[in-house]
Structure 1
Amino acid sequence: MNQRVTSRSVRTSSLRTRAAVLAAGMGATVVLGTGVAAAAEASAATAATSAASAVQAQAAAQAKAAETQAAAVAKAKAVAAKKAAAAKKAAAKKAPAKKAASWVNPVSHYKLSASYAQAGGMWQSTHSGQDYAVPTGTKVVAAHGGTVVKAGPNGAGDGPAYGNAVVIKHGNGMYSQYAHLSKVNVKIGQIVKTGQRIAFSGNTGNSSGPHLHFEIRTTANYGTAVDPVRFLRGKGVSL
């Protein structure tokens, strides 16, 4: 009887021990599983943080590289612009200054008609100047800068054959005369520049048609004319 009780007690104790061990094992497994899960979550979070940091670092590097490149391009453009400006300035210094024309033709878009010393019934002896065939109202300009010494009708004092006329005294001791004008735009004593308008062409006086009669003289008066074409060509004027 005592042996049976003892045997049962041993078996019961053994079962209890196994149950306790099994329970402990299951608890350890649960604890281990929870730990693994937590570790996995922590690892994933760390990986995500690392990836975000890497993306930010890459973006910052790209931005810095773009900024560096833009700065280099801007610097290169500034250097090129500076060199171009220096080259232009140097070329301007080397290039000879363009001088203003000393003498010019008294009219534009003309046709040369009666020439100097040409014989004909229109003149007392020979022609005293060069005629420029142009329509009435064509702008007449000073062939060279100077002072107006004659201006008005009756050839400005040289006779009715010239019609309305102007005479300009130049600094080189020469004079220019403009005749058969329709209108005079200057007065005696007025200083004019080369190329400045002084009158409009016409058909006044002893004239067979609209034109400008132009003379170069050694004095202000009739009878001192020289060949105006030769004179102007000597001053570099093309006719």
Structure 2
Amino acid sequence: MSQRVTSRPSRTSAIRTRAAVLAAGLGVSVALGAGVAAAADATSASTTATATATAVEAQAAAQAKSAQAAKAAAAAKAKAAAAAKQAAAKKAAAQKAAAKKKAASWVHPVAHYTLSASFNQAGGMWSHRHSGQDFAVPLGTNVVAAHGGTVVKAGGNGAGDGPAYGNAIVIRHGNGTYSQYAHLSRIDVKIGQVVATGQHIAKSGNTGNSSGPHLHFEIRKTPNYGSAINPVTFLRAKGLSV
């Protein structure tokens, strides 16, 4: 029986071969592991970048939404302020109109006139100073109640105040105020009649102590002669331009 003997050099070579193969395998494993790690790092970086971009986009969208909401709130506030301003202006206009209407509750006794003899004017036409304001108008001009009230005097002889007034009317208004209309050519109301502001009551004339057709107008504190106040000042205080 023969016995096989392996020489030392052959055994050494085989060991070296195995070592080389092992080393090569180990290198491949290390390289493969590094590649996998690098790929994992790249994937992680990509994921992080995507998450960051998404967060930035979300933040930008939130800021845009907040800005839009602020803009809408500012617009709503401006609209509310404009509406409040408009309401205030409307209220002020209504109050002004109401005040004007209240003032206009007194009207001129005649239209298209020329002022002639004035209140408290001296002259030979009157035994004392002039007690009213004369409105020079053509004969037969429409005469209206300067304010609503009740007729307390109407007729010739100044309706009881004397022949100098000719045909005359006296109307009682509220708060102790009376208006008188004199030198009339025609009287179209009677005592006790209630008249409205601006209602026709007579026609202008030239009766009594008169030098020409006109309306003699007085504002009095009583229905009788001697209690007159300046009618122009009174009417202007009521908002009328005289």
Give the shorter-chain TM-score range.
0.5 to 0.7
Aligned-pair CA distance for 1:216:
0.4
- Structure 1 runs (4+) greater than 2 angstroms displaced: 97-100
**Separation of aligned partners in 2, 1:136 and 1:181:** 9
Aligned-pair CA distance for 1:172:
2.0
Aligned-pair CA distance for 1:230:
0.6
**Separation of aligned partners in 1, 2:186 and 2:109:** 15
Q: How do residues 154-193 of structure 1 correspond to structure 2 at under 5 angstroms? A: 154-193=157-196
Matched, 1:209 2:212: yes
- Equivalence for 1:132: 135
Aligned-pair CA distance for 1:153:
0.6
> In structure 2, what residue type is equivalent to 1:127?
H
- Equivalence for 1:29: none
Aligned-pair CA distance for 1:166:
0.2
* Structure 2 unaligned regions, length at least 5: 1-85
Aligned-pair CA distance for 1:171:
1.0
- Normalising by structure 1, report the TM-score: 0.60
**Separation of aligned partners in 2, 1:146 and 1:176:** 9
> In structure 2, what residue type is equivalent to 1:209?
G
Aligned-pair CA distance for 1:151:
0.3
Q: Secondary structure at the match of 1:229?
A: helix
Aligned-pair CA distance for 1:232:
0.6
Aligned-pair CA distance for 1:180:
0.1
- Normalising by structure 2, report the TM-score: 0.59
> In structure 2, what residue type is equivalent to 1:137?
G
- Equivalence for 2:241: 238
Deviations 1:54-97 (A, max 9, x none): xxxxxxxxxxxxxxxxxxxxxxxxxxxxxxxxxxxx99x75525
Deviations 1:90-147 (A, max 9, x none): 99x7552553621111000000000000000000011000000000100000011100
Aligned-pair CA distance for 1:173:
1.1
**Separation of aligned partners in 1, 2:225 and 2:176:** 16
- Equivalence for 1:141: 144
**Separation of aligned partners in 1, 2:175 and 2:241:** 20
> Number of paired residues?
151
**Separation of aligned partners in 2, 1:140 and 1:172:** 23
- Equivalence for 1:121: 124
**Separation of aligned partners in 2, 1:158 and 1:139:** 23
- Equivalence for 2:33: none
Identity %: 77
> In structure 1, what residue type is equivalent to 2:208?
G
Q: Secondary structure at the match of 1:121?
A: coil
Matched, 1:106 2:109: yes
> In structure 1, what residue type is equivalent to 2:155?
G
Q: Secondary structure at the match of 1:230?
A: helix
